[in-house]
Amino acid sequence: MAPAAFPNSGMSITSRAKASRAGFAPLIPLDRRGAKPLYRQIYDWFQQAIVSGELPPGRRMPSTRSLASALGISRISVLNAFEQLHAEGYLQGRVGSGTYVADTIPEHFPHAPAGSPGPAKRHNTSRRVSHTVEALLALPRPQFLQTAAPFRTSQAALDQFPVETWSRLVARHARKASIAMMSYGDPMGYPPLREAIAEYLRASRAVDCEPRQVMVVTGSQQALQLTALALLNRNDPVWMEEPGYRGARQVFLMAGVRRIPVPLDREGLSVEEGIRRAPDARAVYVTPSHQYPMGMTMSAARRMQLLNWAARSGAWIIEDDYDSEYRFDSRPIASLQGLNHGEGTIYIGTFSKVLFPALRTGYLVIPDHLTPAFAAVRDAIDIFSPTLHQAALADFIHDGHFARHIRKMRMLYMERRLLLAGELQRQLGDEVEVVSAEAGMHLVALLPPGVPDVAVSAAAARIGIATMPLSASYETPPARGGLILGYGATDARQIREGVEKLAGCIREQSWYSRAAD
């Protein structure tokens, strides 16, 4: 609300205020039928006039009686507004001589001219964001659709989730929420959930762990961030799979470590090449069960080689086991962590793919001697994860719903994967090459050499298809582009129609790149 002219004078506040030492009764435009109470409108008007400098420090305020009568409203509204301005330090009273704008208000408060956007919307070029944010914003951000469109990656079949069972469990815990459940919790997590996770990981993933080593976190993203904070220093060299998971790259960028891209071959990350590039790396980030995004499983020989190097050099292994529940050709692959009994390995898992991402729940398995370090970092960041959902999740696992859901989803994803691979073959033949393993919720289709994947993704996005360009997973652009195609939340009809649309985009871009040659 901009300060208005004085009644009967046509003068601005400043000119009238300068002219009069006896206070004034400005015409405040009031909206008598609006939702905002009258006292609040009066308060806002004066607060704005004081902050903007229109009413300078020491200026006398009108009497509440005269202002109320000039505005034709009850004195109570004016009194309430003045009381609030007093309480916040905008006004001061001088005994026997009325109310004044407080002397303590600085004369030169940087304010926006009336009518200009508020402080939050203005840009001040002399104020800088951190170097970390500048670097984060500089990461390539491909134009792919972020909505729940066909082939969106990292999206589970959320329509298949047993919502009723889940909401019953949440409601049960919400209804009987005890004092303990409502107060601060353990940075390591809710004990029954940690027990349920440890049991599941021992049985299904051959992870060597006890509940005391499990920390419940808000998704793998936080697990990675805690790991970086607990174990790494700025400029520490860290091996990263190339191509690899963009979320991990973001975390290591924020941690200021030196990311060392290490290429892959058919057996997974090339340890030999890693040693050649940075033999003294402090850590390695790997997705050995199902490499993201290429999908290969790290071979047994390569696992031994990696563990041997890490043991010799004292490097940490950060194992991201994000979707290995879904293997279609064999039983889930045993974790790398279990192979060396957790020595020097931080194991990370998530419920984002097996349940739903908005749960924001994942877990870390931490070597025993490091749990105080991780708990201290967690305490400093956000203390602990919300207890209500942890309690519901503990029951969901304990009562068998979790295992049942995984079994059902494994069948569904297997069918969708088969259909997608078949449709790609049927509609595009040799024009694309499917490279991923029989696992997970996405596959990679390599494009014809020379066809830019970012352009294909952008063209697909324009017609409602959400592919992720493979090159976005690289530190340095690859020789051959591809598309990461999620099929978790893409049903049979969408797969058939989506591949047809994609084929159109790929052929169109192939034509452009041939024409440009």
Ligand X SMILES: Cc1ncc(COP(=O)(O)O)c(C=O)c1O
The residues binding ligand X (CB under 6 A) are 154, 219-221, 245, 247, 287, 292, 320, 322, 350, 352, 357, 362
CB of 26 or CB of 293, closer to ligand X: 293
CB of 291 to ligand X, least distance (A): 9
**Least gap, CB of 439 to ligand X (angstroms):** 13
Which amino acid, residue 216? V
Residue 151 CB, nearest approach to ligand X (Å) = 14
Nearer Cβ to ligand X, position 68 or 348?
348
Query: Smallest gap, in angstroms, from Cβ of residue 347 to ligand X?
Result: 12
Whichever of 309 and 322 has its CB closer to ligand X, that residue is: 322
CA-wise closest residue to 296 among 275, 317, 327, 271? 327
57 versus 386: smaller Cβ distance to ligand X: 386
CA distances from 412 to 117, 153, 416, 419 (A): 51, 16, 6, 11
Q: Please list, in sequence order, all residues whose beta carbon lies within 8 angstroms of the beta carbon of residue 116, skipping any fewer than 6 positions away.
A: 122
Q: Are 48 and 3 spatial neighbours (Cβ–Cβ below 8 Å)?
A: yes
Output b/e per residue, 343-376; b: 16+ Cβ within 10 A. Answer: ebbbbbbbbbbbbbeebbbbbbbbbeebbeebbe
If the CB atoms of residues 309 and 351 are measured against ligand X, the closer one turns out to be: 351
Tell me which residue has tokens 């889940």. 166
Contact indicator for 316, 345 with CB cutoff of 8 Å: yes
Q: How far is the CB of 477 from ligand X (least distance, A)?
A: 20
Nearest Cα to 498, choosing from 402, 427, 400? Answer: 427
Contacts of 440 (CB under 8 A, 6+ apart): 290, 295, 323, 324, 326, 413
Cβ nearer to ligand X, comparing 154 with 490: 154
Q: Beta strand pairing status for 345-350 and 316-320? A: parallel
- Nearest approach in angstroms of CB 224 to ligand X is 8
Taking the complex as a whole, the smallest distance from the CB of residue 441 to ligand X amounts, in Å, to 9
Instruction: Between 39 and 363, name the residue whose CB sits nearer to ligand X.
Output: 363
Task: Count the helices and strands in the chain (H runs, E runs).
Answer: 18, 14
